[in-house]
Amino acid sequence: MFRMKKKSSPSSSKRSREAASVNSQIEMSTASALTRDSGITKKTESADEQQHLAQKRHYEDTAVEGKDSPKKTKSEESAQKKEKTEVEKNDDIVSTTSNTQDLESASLAAGMVRVKFEAVWKGTVADFVCEHDMQDVYQKITSELAKALQLLESSGAAPVAEDGKVAGNVAARIVKGDLDILIVSKSGKQSGQSVSTEDDFCIITGFDPVQWSVNFYASSSSTLPTSDTPLHHAALHAAEEFHWAEVPYVSLHGHALETEDKAEQLGLPCSDKETLFSTPDDMHELVSLLKQYPFPLHKVFVRKGHGFLVLGETTSETLESFKVKVMPFIA
């Protein structure tokens, strides 16, 4: 975090103390998520190096660097630098948050990036679907997911977050011969905008939990996959790991029913720990929950402080579970 020096009145000093507290929570959670030896990532750096790494990843992991991104243009590099500068000036935004906000809300209010994994753009969706002769399948799935995304927003399950973007996303897994991919909604959808099957979805062809990186196809390199891509990937591949009798292929995520009390009231499994979104710790908390509560006996899961996740074998089945077990209880 970078702070601008200002003369403080008593009230502004109080806000600064609150901001420092929020910043401290975010930084500690991020550093823990990105450096903890959790079986997914192992780091041996010193405390100073760990803090530097955590901060660097927050500000830079959405960019594709060096040889991994030969297609990044000068305009994209300029946009990235501009975003980084804006993030460094977030002190005024943070000072308006309260200590009661969850880590996700506080981080977005602070102007921090959503996507905290390395996103490596491999090409356009159009080229990918053409190469693999799956135009019809892709169009069908994205059309269904577009309707699901619109329902999440219209129902209030995907509200506008502190950064002004919609807080909700969808995913579907497609297995076709040797091909095993995820289709996910893009990061940072604007509220009220229609959903385009051409521009608002990404294809995930690889997820590396060790390097915390994703290979993806999208309409352009600036269209990043949802920050919750690791959650969707983990959920839609959990059947193999935990030997579930049935396999979910569709997942919906929104920011409602995110408290322990609400989950307990509705009889839904809820994770124990609140973690910063788009981090290894965040994914681990969901995986622990899925291990304890197998699909299809359980189809709706609550991530403490983050929101719900609905799983199903088809889009229609997943939407039905959402309409029955989530929609009626959105505040």
Residue 71 predicted with pLDDT over 80: no
Residue 64 predicted with pLDDT over 60: no
Q: Which residues of 115-153 are buried (b: 16+ CB within 10 A; e: fewer)?
A: bbbbbbbbbbbeebbeebebeeebeebbebbbebbebbb
Q: Which of the two residues, 269 and 109, has the higher pLDDT score?
A: 269
What is the reported pTM? 0.72
Flag the least confident range among 77-91, 97-111, 131-145, 316-330. Answer: 77-91
Query: What CATH number matches the domain at 122-329, 3.40.630.30, 2.170.190.11, 3.50.50.60, 3.40.225.10?
Result: 3.40.225.10
Residue 84 predicted with pLDDT over 80: no
Residue 12 predicted with pLDDT over 60: no
What mean pLDDT do residues 82-97 have? 39
Strand order in the sheet with 179-185: 118-123, 213-217, 201-208, 179-185, 168-176, 250-254, 307-312, 300-303
What is the per-residue pLDDT for 77?
53
Q: Which of the two residues, 10 and 259, has the higher pLDDT score?
A: 259
Question: 197-242 pLDDT, tens per residue?
Answer: 989 999 999 999 999 999 999 999 999 999 999 999 999 999 999 9
Q: Which of the two residues, 7 and 77, has the higher pLDDT score?
A: 77
What mean pLDDT do residues 72-78 have? 48
Question: 168-187 pLDDT, tens per residue?
Answer: 999 999 998 999 999 999 99
Question: 133-165 pLDDT, tens per residue?
Answer: 999 999 999 999 999 999 999 999 999 988 889
Residue 285 predicted with pLDDT over 80: yes
Residue 277 predicted with pLDDT over 80: yes
User: In Å, what is the CA distance from 179 to each residue of 16, 176, 222?
Assistant: 51, 5, 25
What is the per-residue pLDDT for 162?
84
What is the per-residue pLDDT for 142?
98
Residue range(s) of every CATH 3.40.225.10 domain in the chain: 122-329
What is the per-residue pLDDT for 331?
79
DSSP sequence for 233-286? HHHHTHHHHHT-SS---EEEEESSS-SHHHHHHHT--B-S----TTSHHHHHHH
Residue 70 predicted with pLDDT over 90: no
